């Protein structure tokens, strides 16, 4: 099978949805898929490093507006698009013109259900893109059963949906902490500090405002514990920035920025717990990675994170800082035996999610798009 995988929306520092595309690019050639990675101009070297066995074609302009216009008007008629059996748009969109069967990944439906979590221009664009993809793609990939149900409820006459849960690199995200002190030291981080860890882009839906309020209560009860925040700056978080600067325990809150791949697992293993109070996601990869490291997780009930955790995390009500603080304080009071029990349970849950199974489901979608 000849496949074009559109990687043009993946940022230079890939987070959850971007890492999903990287993993597909790395793994599809080994499954016998003749893969062409369609990249932005000047991005060829990075994708050749990610996936040496793939072809790389830098067709797409770097600027976002130009990229989207090119996709809508010309991309589907390029020689690359016309020379493959299937085109996969892994980030909501697909070429508007051209004869090639398309598969589109819809990560979540929050542009419809919670537009306040996104910039207005993105809401308008992605609502149109998702509606178009649902009607004109040959198959849709959903990364969770949670999102698949919403697609069924909200998009009439949509293409067949294949659920393909994301995976976790179980070799990198593991229980082995023997080398962690050295890795942490190289990044200027101490292993002698007791801390909770948040991993995610700073944006409204992540619940960082709730986490800061919860940490106020935790910090009053425990004079040593810190809160470490790892992730890139997103948008719409001016209020969060104000809270960070004026927080009563500001000296115990550490901004780490984007965390390199080699440091993330050691950071997780060194924490008292991973706290992920997001109000909504497509999947919630940080939850799975923390569970794979045997780290206690606190996240939000009635979201996709509850589906991912499968009973291996502590669940709190969305938006409830008191509920979140109570869960964090409970983790601080855990016995070693309880912590070891939770570590085993989390690891067992994580082992049910592999990138190999994720690729299996994508192959189902690709064959479906070809009418097979």
- Over residues 147-191, the pLDDT tens digits come to 999 999 999 999 999 999 999 999 999 998 888 888 888 888 887
Exposed e or buried b per residue across 96-121, where buried means at least 16 C-beta atoms within 10 angstroms of its C-beta: eebebbbbbbbbbbbbbeeeebbeee
Four-point Cα dihedral 178, 183, 188, 189, nearest 10: -40
> What is the spatial distance between Cα 343 and Cα 345, in angstroms, rounded to a whole number?
5
Do the strands 297-300 and 273-276 form a parallel or antiparallel pair, or are they unpaired?
Answer: parallel
Residue 20's pLDDT band, with cuts at 50, 70 and 90, is very high
> What is the spatial distance between Cα 100 and Cα 41, in angstroms, rounded to a whole number?
22
- H or E stretch covering 16: helix 16-27
Residues 241-299: pLDDT tens digits? 888 888 989 899 999 998 888 899 999 999 999 999 999 999 999 999 999 999 999 99
- Angstrom distances, CA of residue 337 to CA of 89, 209, 344: 46, 32, 11
Residue 32's pLDDT band, with cuts at 50, 70 and 90, is very high
Percent of the chain clearing pLDDT 90 (strictly above): 77
The confidence score (pLDDT) of residue 86 equals: 97
- Angstrom distances, CA of residue 357 to CA of 24, 48, 103, 163: 11, 24, 18, 11
- CA 219-220-225 angle, 5° bins: 30
- Strands (DSSP E) contained in 77-117 are 86-89, 102-106
Over range 7-23, report the average pLDDT: 92
- 3-state class of 290 per DSSP? helix
DSSP lists the bridge partners of residue 199 as: 230
The confidence score (pLDDT) of residue 328 equals: 98
Taking the chain, what is the end-to-end CA distance rounded to the nearest angstrom?
A: 12
The confidence score (pLDDT) of residue 244 equals: 87
> What is the spatial distance between Cα 257 and Cα 235, in angstroms, rounded to a whole number?
14
- What number of residues does the chain have? 372
Cβ(86)–Cβ(370) below 8 Å: yes
Four-point Cα dihedral 200, 50, 53, 88, nearest 10: 40
Span 2-167+355-369 CATH architecture: 3-Layer(aba) Sandwich (3.40)
Percent of the chain clearing pLDDT 70 (strictly above): 100
Exposed e or buried b per residue across 277-308, where buried means at least 16 C-beta atoms within 10 angstroms of its C-beta: bbbbbbbbbbbbbbbbbbbbbbbbeebbbbeb
Structural domain spans, the chain: 2-167+355-369, 180-350
Residues 321-343: pLDDT tens digits? 999 999 999 999 999 999 999 99
The confidence score (pLDDT) of residue 261 equals: 83
Domain 180-350 has CATH 3.40.50.2000: yes
Residues 207-248: pLDDT tens digits? 999 999 999 999 999 999 999 999 988 777 778 888 888 898
Cβ(35)–Cβ(55) below 8 Å: yes
Q: What are residue 177's phi and psi, to 5 degrees?
A: -105, 10
The confidence score (pLDDT) of residue 73 equals: 73
Mean pLDDT of the chain: 93
Joined tokens for residue 303: 């979201």
Do the first three CATH levels of 2-167+355-369 and 180-350 match, i.e. the same topology?
yes
Does the structure show a pLDDT above 90 at 113?
Answer: yes
Over range 4-22, report the average pLDDT: 93
């Amino acid at each position: 099978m000849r496949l074009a995988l559109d990687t043009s929306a993946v940022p230079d520092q890939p987070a959850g949805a971007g890492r999903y595309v990287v993993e597909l690019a790395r793994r599809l050639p080994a499954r016998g898929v003749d893969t062409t990675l369609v990249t932005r101009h000047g991005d060829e070297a990075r994708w050749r490093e990610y996936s040496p066995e793939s072809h790389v074609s830098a067709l797409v302009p770097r600027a976002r507006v130009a990229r989207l216009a090119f996709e809508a008007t010309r991309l589907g008629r390029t020689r690359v698009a016309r020379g493959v059996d299937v085109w996969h748009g892994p980030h909501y969109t697909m070429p508007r013109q051209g004869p090639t069967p398309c598969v589109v990944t819809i990560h979540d439906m929050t542009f419809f259900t919670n537009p306040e979590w996104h910039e207005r221009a993105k809401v308008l664009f992605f609502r149109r893109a998702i509606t178009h993809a649902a009607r004109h793609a040959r198959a849709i990939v959903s990364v969770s059963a949670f999102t698949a149900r919403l697609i069924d409820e909200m998009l009439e006459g949509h293409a067949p949906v294949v659920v393909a849960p994301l995976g976790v690199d179980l070799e990198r995200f593991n229980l082995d902490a023997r080398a962690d002190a050295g890795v942490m030291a190289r990044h200027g981080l101490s292993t002698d500090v007791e801390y909770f860890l948040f991993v995610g882009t700073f944006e409204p839906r992540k619940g960082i405002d709730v986490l800061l309020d919860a940490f106020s209560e935790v910090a009053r009860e425990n004079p040593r514990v810190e809160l470490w925040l790892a992730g890139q700056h997103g948008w719409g978080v001016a209020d969060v920035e104000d809270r960070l600067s004026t927080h009563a325990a500001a000296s115990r809150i550490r901004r780490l920025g984007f965390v390199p791949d080699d440091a993330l697992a050691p950071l997780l293993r060194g924490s008292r717990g991973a706290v992920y109070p997001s109000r909504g996601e497509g999947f919630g990869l940080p939850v799975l990675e923390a569970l794979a490291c045997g780290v206690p997780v606190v996240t939000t009930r009635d979201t996709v994170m509850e589906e991912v955790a499968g009973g291996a995390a502590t669940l709190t009500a969305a938006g409830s800082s008191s509920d979140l603080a109570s869960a964090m304080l409970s983790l601080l009071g855990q016995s070693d035996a309880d912590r070891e029990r939770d570590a085993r349970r989390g690891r067992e849950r994580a082992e049910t999610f592999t990138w190999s199974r994720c690729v299996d489901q994508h192959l189902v979608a690709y064959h479906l798009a070809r009418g097979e």
